[in-house]
Amino acid sequence: MPVRPLPVLLTSALALTLTALPLAGAATASARPASSCTAQAIEDTPKDGPDVKALCAAIAGLPDRDATAALIRVGGKGSWRGVAGVRDMRTGAPALENARFRAGSTTKIVTAAIVLQLVAEKRISLDGTVQDYLPGLLTDDFAPITVRQLLDFTSGLQPGASLGETDKDGYAHRFETLTPAEVVAASVAKGPDPEHAPGEHQRYGNIHYTVLGMLIEKVTGDSYAHQAAVRIFRPLGMRHTSFPAGPDPRVHGPHNRGYDWIDGELVDVTDWNMSDRWAVGDMISTTADLERLLVGLFRGRVVPEPQLTQMFTVPDLPGATMGMGLERFELNGREIWGKTGSRPGYHTVVAATRDLSRTLVYSVNSTDAKGDGLAIVQRFSFPAFNR
């Protein structure tokens, strides 16, 4: 399927906001000033609050080459909200603060939480194996793989099938369906990790959580999406968070459209069947809802102790940074726990200190969301933890 770039007239208008960059662009759509970026708002920020000046600088001038919109929520000691950019590059309509977006791999937090709830209910054991719970899924070539090893990314399973390793490759297949069973079958066909036995090496990847989604459905006799709704979304009041109905490629409800640079053209990538990501990264949410998830989880309202402690436990392995659904970072002497997520056109972060003295949730309509993401994180995340 050919790439369909935005019209030439639109591309020339974006150039007005990107005059220093060697590309063509869209209609004049400068960032809407955020009320939280007034001089008074910056001056009134507590000294131990977020670096509002840097946050305001991060969202200034949107849309630009790297992002078309940004929604940021900072909480804890000193709160701040910022919204900038455009909802739609064709119309230049301002970005919606309550927009729904593809939350990517922050979905893994939900998956880990459901599994750990089932552990607390004694319906699953962390030391139980895939072979016990899902007989026949793996071949006899595989050593026993425990639920714990799936949760902390040490299972040794190799990556499964995909419809494209890059956004450019995947774009042509964006309305096709790849089932979780097909994803796992491709992983199994590759055999075990030839270099590391289960539990010996942490390698982040989607395959671990695809199998966990299957485990949830097998143990509960229910769909993964319904279990997420009744166990997580409804109790926390996450009224605008859901999963698409099967292969539905649309983001329903208010949303800011996502874009990506493909072959030098800015392409609308909003409509995309993400069903292959499922329990790994198919969740659609809002910044307010993800903040509810973050705070509820850290306060013990989602996963009970001692299972909650497991989410913040990184295996004692060289280079390991992931607990169960959460990753540990250190910034300016602070230990921060969180998760990034990326889908074409959308980059998401949820992060907080363990005591919730600082929380951050953002959705950035990154035009290279599936790149390494470091520049976007440095620009939009780091200022929240600068001081």
- Separation of alpha carbons 44 and 236, rounded Å: 31
Stated pTM of the model: 0.91
What's the pLDDT score for residue 269? 98
The per-residue pLDDT for 46 is: 81
**pLDDT at residue 35, rounded to an integer:** 54
| 180-233 tens-digit pLDDT | 999 999 999 999 999 999 999 999 999 999 999 999 999 999 999 999 999 999
- Residues in the chain where the model's pLDDT stays below 70: 1-35
Give me the sign of the Cα torsion angle 172, 257, 349, 175: negative
Q: Among candidates 51, 30, 109, which has minimal Cα distance to 293?
A: 109
DSSP 339: E
Element (H, E) at 351: strand 346-353
Structural domains in the chain, CATH included, are 8-385 (3.40.710.10)
- pLDDT value for 6: 61
